[in-house]
Amino acid sequence: MKKEKLRVAVIGVGHLGEYHVQKYKNIPGVELVGVVDINPDRIREISKRYHTRPFGNHKDILGMVDAVSLAVPTETHFRVARDILSEGVHVLIEKPITYNLEDADSLLNLAREKGLVLQVGLVERFNPAVVKMEALLNRPTYIEAHRMNLFTARGIDVDVVLDLMIHDLDIILHMVQAEVKEVHAVGMSVITDKTDVANARLIFENGIVANLTASRVSNKTLRKIQVFQPDAQISADCHTRTISVVRLNGKAKGLSDLPQFIPEEEKFSSSDPLADEIASFVGVVQNGSTPMVSGQDGRRALNVALGIIDQIERGNKNFKSIS
């Protein structure tokens, strides 16, 4: 018998949602039934460009699909995802999963009751440099992450912790696999009325320390994670998808008769983490397996992010000009 195609839709086709549309169109065995957006001009434009049907309300498409990508503003994540899951449809929801833990728990429980996939779009977990880094881990002791972006108007419905830092939080929580013991955080508003620059120091129960910095008002783009461990320093550049490893070679002695550092580098220039994320979601739905980034992973990253935000909010985060 011929296997039926998986019927999908993308709900919310702004800048990121359009990329989801592109990826689904390129997956064999997937039928893009339609796209949904409340902006009539945008939905006409996208449906025409990708030769699919336009819908102005997410409820209109639910009886026609098996799975959806949800790329609407965070403030509507819970309401729309609840409607989708209630109708027995699998969901790939963009990060952050929701604004608060209560809503996240509600979605997790609903997906569990219905036997549905709830995957969270923390795409950097599919970055090949990060995947390779995780394979090289051996008793890490200190982790440092920097995620800096030029300012754009996209994503400013949330602060920089939920917009950018949450990617590195998810990666680090997945690598460390221990509870967070202490959180120390500072941040400030620069352009928006929310936190635009943030720094957090996490101390885990097993003694590992992680320092994270995120800014969406930087003069350059930087997305790098470094892990320090007894046998190596490992650096994953998420922007260029490059991994660098520096190992200590005790046998190779230099002029000072000290051990020498041996550098290695590997670049994954042809990779497409978003395509891998969406293909993984399709595979999980078809095979009934567990997502690489589950709803529970999204909930855990949100929990730590909210702790960081709370500390920043209780401090002084207002930027003051010196002029």
Q: How many CA atoms lie within 13 A of 190 on its CB side?
A: 13
- What digits encode the pLDDT tens for the residues 134-143? 999 999 999 9
Kindly state the tokens that stand for 228: 């320090």
Res 320 pLDDT > 60: no
Give all strands (DSSP E) within 56-179, no chain letters.
67-70, 90-94, 118-121, 142-148
Q: Which sequence spans correspond to the domains of the chain?
A: 6-122+274-293, 125-271+304-314
* Fold assignment, 125-271+304-314: Dihydrodipicolinate Reductase; domain 2 (3.30.360)
- What digits encode the pLDDT tens for the residues 267-291? 998 899 999 999 999 999 999 999 9
Give 263 or 268, the one with higher predicted confidence.
268
How high is the pLDDT of residue 120? 98
Q: Tokens 């008793």, residue?
A: 139
Res 323 pLDDT > 50: no
Res 292 pLDDT > 80: yes
258 confidence band (pLDDT: 50, 70, 90): low
Q: Which amino acid is at 201?
A: R
How high is the pLDDT of residue 131? 97
How high is the pLDDT of residue 319? 45
Percentage of the chain exceeding pLDDT 90: 85
Percentage of the chain exceeding pLDDT 70: 93
Query: What pTM was estimated for this model as a whole?
Result: 0.92
How high is the pLDDT of residue 250? 58
Rounded Cα distance, 190 and 33, in Å: 42
Q: How many CA atoms lie within 13 A of 131 on its CB side?
A: 15
Q: How many CA atoms lie within 13 A of 98 on its CB side?
A: 20
231 confidence band (pLDDT: 50, 70, 90): confident
DSSP-derived secondary structure letter, 5: P
Kindly state the tokens that stand for 319: 């930027």
Average pLDDT value for residue range 55-62: 96
Res 316 pLDDT > 60: no
* Fold assignment, 6-122+274-293: Rossmann fold (3.40.50)
Range with lowest mean pLDDT among 1-10, 29-38, 69-78, 199-208: 1-10
Range with lowest mean pLDDT among 43-52, 181-190, 309-318: 309-318
How high is the pLDDT of residue 317? 54
Res 2 pLDDT > 50: no
Rounded Cα distance, 70 and 91, in Å: 7
